[in-house]
Structure 1
Amino acid sequence: MMVRFRPTILRQYLLQGQLPTTGCLRSQARLPCIAARNRGAYLLSYAPVRAIHSESTPTASNGPADPAFVPLRKLLKDEAKKQKLSGKKKKKNANNQVVEGWELTVGIEIHAQLNTAKKLFSGATTSFNDHPNTHVAYFDLAIPGSQPVFQKETLIPALRAALALNCDIQQVSTFDRKHYFHWDQPSGYQITQYYEPFARNGVITLQARDGIAVEDGEGISVGIKQIQMEQDTAKTLAQLDNVHWVDFNRVGVPLIEIITLPEIHHPATAAALVKKVQVLLRAVDACVSGMEAGGLRADVNVSVRRSDDPSAPLGQRTEIKNLSSFKAVEDAIIAERDRQIAVLESGGTIASETRGWSIGSTETRRLRGKEGEVDYRYMPDPDLAPIVIGEDLVQHLRETMGELPDAEVDGLIEDFKLTPKDARSLVGLNSGMGVEYFWNVVDALKHRLGSSSLADNLPCYQLAANWILHEFGKLWFDEHEDDAARDFGFTEDGQCARVPVDHLADILFFLYRSQITSRIAKEILWAVFRGRVPAEYASVRDVIDTEDLWFRELSDAEYAALADEAVKGQESVVRVFMEKQEKYPQGKLMFLVGRMMRLGPEERIDPRSAERVMRERIEERYIPRLRGE
């Protein structure tokens, strides 16, 4: 069991060289942590791992402070300000998918961390948020004499991913060594499946609703060359003064690498493909987390050629490494495409190289020359036997995989008449758990409405989808809630800790029946979210009864009096209705309805009734009066 030390002792030992007067750190268990400095020279120091992330803030006496964390949103805003001040206007991506006279070709390699409890070749636990270097086996650190042992359970999520991507599963696959030297790979090579991967010949279909470029029409299919299993590298944490800390918790974590064919010709379609892959991997529970959490990374291979000769070979490609967001994929491809075109038009040649991309950049940057098969010295791994995959296992996984996102989106569009955008957002909400919650809310509403037919109360179910997508979002991103409060606690069976299914169903039922107003419904949702139901009130109905929040609508006579008051001094607006030609001035009507809402008791006004009465008063009273009738 790993020994844990108090941060104060570790800080004194690591930063000041002081040891406690009793006991000795030398006799305690510890793991190595590598610091790289001075042009790549390695300094190996043995230190307890919790010192890497001290729980107290460093001061001038105990070392330099870590660089301040800058949120992604602020980085993007700052870069936008710089662009504005420079006077350069960046062309919108939607209008920047094609360069006349040139053809872009893109292939993508997607690395996804598998959802497994163990690492690929050791029994160490996969860890993503624990203290650094607390889940490391001998083989992970390449300790002499340690051997890789393939963990069979890591194959299951990999197979699910391959089936979701319509791949052919290979009955026999093998592991190879890919040699390179870097501090994040202790053994000096990565174990992968270069020659005989476990899956080949897949295809992913993208539709217009997936966000592909307009130039690709209604849809496009992109081939998948192969999917291979491989081990992840250690995590490097950059510090001041050219120092790097290394966390070996991540080394050996199981990955799959999805390699597409070079069949993508527009940047937006490339970004849409990566997003679609992420949704599919989450849907089949194959991937730990998405791009936003670092569980999925993309490398893109970009080349250009002149479009006047389609039979000409593809241009020299460059690779852009480690893109960590969908926007970065699209922006980096556009920037590299434009760079290559500028080089070729000026008479230059494109070098085979690996390039990098930073958030908010307008240009890619050279990292190093591109390595090839010879550089990596691929060879079969002599310590690992081939993997033999039985057809019965593949068939079982295929039959139990469940409905994939495209089919579920189609069902939501057909059954509930949701827009493609809303249907896709609902299916992707919280790795698919949001749509399970939606179905539970629909079932609860059916019970309350006394009908099992979707068509009978379709607007009510559409209201549920709208609230889960939009009203929940307002709770989630509220600035006054801490991180813990933003977690709704969605579960795989479609429950929610912060807003239970029955509470939301009650709110929507009363709102749909016009028994409470929209404003009151949203206030009750906040009360539920903050735990006041059931802490202070037994139920949603109890909130309404106790606070007397039931909707008591104005009579038509009261609406008419309110409409007359709202029209006072607005003769010029009313005159627009008299002069209307082909298009009804709905905006002007809603302006007057808004005045009614402000002048009257909002808790007793139904906007639909207010609109109806205002329309009637204008047409039956005010227009005839203006005409002198």
Structure 2
Amino acid sequence: MARIPTAELRRYLLTGQICRRGCLCAFNFPASRPPSRYLSTQPSTSTSVPPTSPLRKQLKEQAKALKQSGAGKKKKKTDNQTVPGWELTVGIEIHAQLNTHHKLFSSATTTTLDSRPNTHVAPFDLAIPGSQPLFQPETLIPAVRAAIALNCNIQPTSRFDRKHYLHWDQPSGYQITQYYHPFAKDGKIVLYERDGIAAEDGGKIEVGIKQVQMEQDTAKTTAQPGEVQWLDFNRVGVPLIEIITLPDIHHPATAAAFVRKVQLLLKSVDACVLGMESGGLRADVNVSVRRAGETKLGTRTEIKNLSSFKAVEDAIIAERDRQIAVLEAGGVVEGETRGWSLGSTETRRLRGKEGEVDYRYMPDPDLGPVVIGNDLVDHLGNSMGALPDKEIDHLINNYGLSPKDALSLMLLDDGARIQYFYDVLDELEERLGPEEGRECGQKHALLAANWCLHELGKLTEETASEPGIAPNIDVRIPSVDLAAILYHLHRKEITAKVAKDLLWNVFRGMVKKGEITETIDMCEWWFKELSEEEYVDIAEKVIEGEEKVLGEFQRYKEGKSKAYPEGKLMFLVGKMMRAGPEQGMDPASAKRVLRQKIEDVLSKGK
């Protein structure tokens, strides 16, 4: 086939013009004669082919029509939580990898993200004939901590079962789990508005946990071209807990909030060190719908291996809408297992839904019962420390943080940011002393929280892709240095701009640890505020020639405008800050003086 010239291809794509040279469609052939007798290289004068619109114009018209019809308008997530006339029911199964050194039934060590494939494997992991499972007691410690955090009842005796299925990721042909006699039952988690639940659930909702069971993980499968699968058996036998909820969730956002809360709880008690972003936690959701007013639950489908909070919410919405469409069309929802891909808009069928009979559950004859003493449960419960909800309440009530900021401190750096905040706060309060600390109330705590969240966040965002930058913020910026910066800022001895410059220099290693004050001295960055007369002088110069802006304040004073022109005032404050010396002006003082000067000018009728 001859190569199409670039110019012709461009005309076709952008304007819809087609070169007719040599084309049969360019001629009107008599029906009685074959077209081959009329082949010609001359352009046709026939007008039988309708003119075509440029492609770009067609797309523009389609987009305009879609916008006018309203079909192309993207719904907000708050609008996707309910469907009129229908009720959604969701149950969740969460698989979380436990924080242990050994596998569940072998002495092989657990794998890390950078481990070479098939290097952490024992004979039992590969189902070598003659090998036997040997329960590793240390795996029980993080599992019990997790169950306590989930408010479960720890069972004195639990047993292991075999769940049979044939797949290449399970060498023995069965998975060892705790189906009939799990080690923990009857738990609950309370989700609050700050956790991100749907508005329809009100201020809080309680989600019941049916059971928590221990089980072994399967091999990791990596797809290759040509229908080839690579298997890494490092993950076989890695200890997991499976958390199974009751069908208490009725909104997609609440389901995502539940998974997020579980991850936070597991990390806070050191039961699970890897989250969804690292593959250490996966969620399966069971979705069913029924018409409003019905009491019997609809047929449920299961969506497997959701790997992000957004995927949990989006997959539930897509599957709910699919089931409603099937029922409204007079069809029947089939019980099946479905899959979800990131970025997709609908779930896809994987296989029919397996049941208890399909898996042929049976007690494992090679493993005895697991006996958990009350002394172990009491010791782990007393040594865990404060759980996230109690910690967040403490931040809100004692330090005046907003619920959003308190939750962010708990989530950042896998829980390390909250400890960093406390370290900075302790250093700052030590510098302020008890008397000055009491006088400033919660201001110093809010100042420390703001910088630990937002200012440090800006630094990590700007340098996220740079090599050689340590991921731990306390390594790059020692808490003692940030506390020193905030101490001088709190006492108005430096400006906010100087404080940010100091933070950046510390982050880059340009200021040695413990030398914040010396650096300010050397660079002459101390704040020497202007006198009241100097502020007034600058304010008078700033408002000269700003009659239009002053007119906005005049209209507000005369009652012609309901809202005070705060934006105009800040515009003038910005001009004033630029007009004065950089190390001599405080924005709050400049705003106060400028507001008073404007009032004086308007009172004099100027």
TM-score of the superposed pair, with normalisation by structure 2: 0.86
- Quote the offset at 1:480 in angstroms: 6.8
- Quote the offset at 1:554 in angstroms: 2.2
- Provide the C-alpha distance between the structure 2 equivalents of 1:480 and 1:355, rounded to a whole number of angstroms: 36
- 1:610 aligns to what? 590
Distance 1:353 1:453, change over 3 A: farther
- Quote the offset at 1:477 in angstroms: 1.5
- Quote the offset at 1:454 in angstroms: 6.1
1:555 corresponds, among 531, 534, 550, to: 531
Which of 167-176 and 542-551 deviates more?
Answer: 542-551
- Quote the offset at 1:455 in angstroms: 4.8
- Provide the C-alpha distance between the structure 1 equivalents of 2:107 and 2:66, rounded to a whole number of angstroms: 54
1:315-357 per-residue CA deviation (whole Å, 9 max, x = no partner) reads: 0000011111111111110111011001100001101111111
- Provide the C-alpha distance between the structure 2 equivalents of 1:460 and 1:201, rounded to a whole number of angstroms: 43
2:460 corresponds, among 473, 476, 482, to: 476
- 1:407 aligns to what? 390
1:184 aligns with 2:164: no
2:371 corresponds, among 368, 388, 395, to: 388
1:463-498 per-residue CA deviation (whole Å, 9 max, x = no partner) reads: 100111111111112147525415125xxxxxx211
- 2:304 aligns to what? 321
Distance 1:501 1:333, change over 3 A: same
1:166 aligns with 2:151: yes
Distance 1:451 1:85, change over 3 A: farther
1:624 aligns with 2:592: no
* Residues 166, 202 of structure 1: 8 Å contact kept: yes
Amino acid at match of 1:360: G
Say which SS state the counterpart of residue 138 (structure 2) adopts: helix
1:432 corresponds, among 415, 433, 453, to: 415
1:272 corresponds, among 241, 246, 257, to: 257
- Provide the C-alpha distance between the structure 2 equivalents of 1:481 and 1:544, rounded to a whole number of angstroms: 30
Say which SS state the counterpart of residue 304 (structure 2) adopts: strand
- Quote the offset at 1:598 in angstroms: 2.6
Task: Provide the aligned length of Structure 1 versus Structure 2.
Answer: 534
- 1:526 aligns to what? 504
Amino acid at match of 1:607: P
Say which SS state the counterpart of residue 329 (structure 1) adopts: helix
- Provide the C-alpha distance between the structure 2 equivalents of 1:189 and 1:453, rounded to a whole number of angstroms: 66
* Residues 416, 454 of structure 1: 8 Å contact kept: no
- Provide the C-alpha distance between the structure 2 equivalents of 1:421 and 1:84, rounded to a whole number of angstroms: 39
Q: Which runs of 5+ in 2 are unaligned?
A: 1-62
- Quote the offset at 1:170 in angstroms: 0.6
- Quote the offset at 1:86 in angstroms: 8.6
1:546 aligns with 2:522: yes
- Quote the offset at 1:538 in angstroms: 5.9
* Residues 575, 623 of structure 1: 8 Å contact kept: no
- 1:231 aligns to what? 216
- 1:505 aligns to what? 483
- Quote the offset at 1:123 in angstroms: 0.8
- 1:134 aligns to what? 119
Amino acid at match of 2:507: F
Distance 1:455 1:394, change over 3 A: same
* Residues 470, 476 of structure 2: 8 Å contact kept: no
Amino acid at match of 2:404: K
- 2:184 aligns to what? 199
Matches within 5 A, 1:234-383: 234-309=219-294, 311=295, 313-383=296-366
Which of 326-335 and 231-240 deviates more?
Answer: 231-240
- Provide the C-alpha distance between the structure 2 equivalents of 1:606 and 1:553, rounded to a whole number of angstroms: 7
Distance 1:106 1:173, change over 3 A: same
Distance 1:618 1:447, change over 3 A: same
Amino acid at match of 2:205: I
Say which SS state the counterpart of residue 258 (structure 1) adopts: strand
* Residues 320, 354 of structure 1: 8 Å contact kept: yes
- Quote the offset at 1:556 in angstroms: 2.0
Amino acid at match of 1:162: A
- Provide the C-alpha distance between the structure 2 equivalents of 1:362 and 1:111, rounded to a whole number of angstroms: 24
- 1:41 aligns to what? none
- 1:422 aligns to what? 405
- 1:114 aligns to what? 98
- Provide the C-alpha distance between the structure 1 equivalents of 2:279 and 2:465, rounded to a whole number of angstroms: 24
- 2:541 aligns to what? 565
- Provide the C-alpha distance between the structure 1 equivalents of 2:380 and 2:416, rounded to a whole number of angstroms: 20
* Residues 128, 250 of structure 1: 8 Å contact kept: no
1:82-119 per-residue CA deviation (whole Å, 9 max, x = no partner) reads: x9999733311112111000000000000000000111
Distance 1:592 1:201, change over 3 A: same
Say which SS state the counterpart of residue 203 (structure 1) adopts: strand
* Residues 409, 423 of structure 1: 8 Å contact kept: yes
- Provide the C-alpha distance between the structure 1 equivalents of 2:64 and 2:459, rounded to a whole number of angstroms: 33
Matches within 5 A, 1:585-604: 585-604=565-584
- 1:96 aligns to what? 80
- Provide the C-alpha distance between the structure 2 equivalents of 1:185 and 1:90, rounded to a whole number of angstroms: 43
Amino acid at match of 2:510: R
Distance 1:86 1:251, change over 3 A: farther
- Provide the C-alpha distance between the structure 1 equivalents of 2:493 and 2:465, rounded to a whole number of angstroms: 30
* Residues 463, 469 of structure 2: 8 Å contact kept: no
TM-score of the superposed pair, with normalisation by structure 1: 0.82
* Residues 481, 514 of structure 2: 8 Å contact kept: no
- 1:517 aligns to what? 495
Matches within 5 A, 1:36-51: none
- Provide the C-alpha distance between the structure 2 equivalents of 1:539 and 1:610, rounded to a whole number of angstroms: 31
1:585-613 per-residue CA deviation (whole Å, 9 max, x = no partner) reads: 22221111111123333332211111011
* Residues 128, 249 of structure 1: 8 Å contact kept: no
Say which SS state the counterpart of residue 349 (structure 2) adopts: strand
- Quote the offset at 1:561 in angstroms: 2.3
Amino acid at match of 1:445: L
Which of 359-368 and 208-217 deviates more?
Answer: 359-368
- Provide the C-alpha distance between the structure 2 equivalents of 1:273 and 1:562, rounded to a whole number of angstroms: 55
Amino acid at match of 1:579: R
- Provide the C-alpha distance between the structure 2 equivalents of 1:455 and 1:526, rounded to a whole number of angstroms: 30
- 1:211 aligns to what? 196
- Quote the offset at 1:390 in angstroms: 0.6
Matches within 5 A, 1:455-466: 455-457=438-440, 458-466=442-450
* Residues 102, 305 of structure 1: 8 Å contact kept: yes
Say which SS state the counterpart of residue 535 (structure 2) adopts: helix
- Provide the C-alpha distance between the structure 1 equivalents of 2:542 and 2:480, rounded to a whole number of angstroms: 40
CA-based RMSD of the aligned residues comes to 1.8
